[in-house]
Amino acid sequence: MRSAVILGATLVFSLPAFGSELWLHIRSENHDSRSNRVVINLPVKALQKALPLIPRDVSRNCELRINESSISPRELRAVVEQLRVAPSGTEVSLRPDGRELHVRRDGDVLEVSGTSDWNGGLDGSVKVPFDLAEALLGGDGDLDFRAAVELLVRRGTGEIMLVSREDQTVRIWVDPIASAPLRNGRVAP
């Protein structure tokens, strides 16, 4: 009994500490001949502190863009509401800007994809955990980044977003590792 209480207390007190050490990683890679690459690593807690200080216009003017089409938070919120109660595998089609987009729920993942006949054959898809999409779209108007980051801290390590295009991949994830393995123990080249 005593060891169970100690174990429980350890877990309760270690959870916030674990959350505070999480790092958000963004990696964008182009697969063309120039092989461009962008890597961003930031502590999740730093994001939590910075979010309330970010200009309001940023969250107000956010929209999801796939290829040349965009979906407003309001449009996506309505679709997510529809998919929440629908069985896994359900797909909803949208036609923002006259181009067709498919929003699909596969288990715990929300996928937004374009059709392959767009834009000269280029197609793309965005995958996000369904609960993260719900948190982000939880408010009435703007995207709720604060709720999304709080969810990330609670969830801990895991994938956040995978954007796939023919020529580019963007992966966003959270883990407790600050950055890629250091060279000779140092981060500087």
Partner 1 sequence: MKGLLKFVLLVALIFTILVGTAAYGVHRLFFNKGVVSVHVAEKGRYGERVFVFLPAGLVNAALAIAPLASVDFEVHDPAVHEWLPAVQAVLTELEHYEDAVLLEVDDGGETFRLVREDGNLRLFVDSHDATVRVTIPPGTVHAAVRAFNRL
CA distance 122 to 135: 30
CA distance 24 to 182: 17
2 binds partner 1 (CB under 8 A): no
184 binds partner 1 (CB under 8 A): no
- Applying CB under 8 A, which part among 1-9, 73-81, 105-113, 176-184 lies near partner 1? 176-184
95 binds partner 1 (CB under 8 A): no
42 binds partner 1 (CB under 8 A): yes
CA distance 110 to 126: 8
Q: Measured from the CB of residue 173, what is the shortest distance to partner 1 in angstroms?
A: 15
Is residue 79 exposed (0-12), middle (13-18) or buried (19+ Cβ within 10 Å)?
Answer: buried
Give every CB contact of residue 88 below 8 A, 6+ residues apart in sequence: 105, 106, 107
**From residue 50 to residue 79, what is the string marking binding to partner 1 with x (rule CB under 8 A)?**
xx-xxx------------------------
CA distance 106 to 109: 5
Cite the DSSP H helix spans in the chain.
2-20, 44-50, 56-60, 73-84, 130-136, 145-155
Among 2, 5, 37, 87, binds partner 1 (CB under 8 A): 37
179 binds partner 1 (CB under 8 A): yes
Question: How many residues at the interface with partner 1, by CB under 8 A?
Answer: 28
CA distance 162 to 19: 22
Q: Closer to partner 1 by CB, 55 or 89: give it.
A: 55
6 binds partner 1 (CB under 8 A): no
49 binds partner 1 (CB under 8 A): yes
116 binds partner 1 (CB under 8 A): no
Q: Which residues in this chain contact partner 1 in the complex, by CB under 8 A?
A: 23, 34-43, 45-47, 49-51, 53-55, 178-180, 182, 186-189
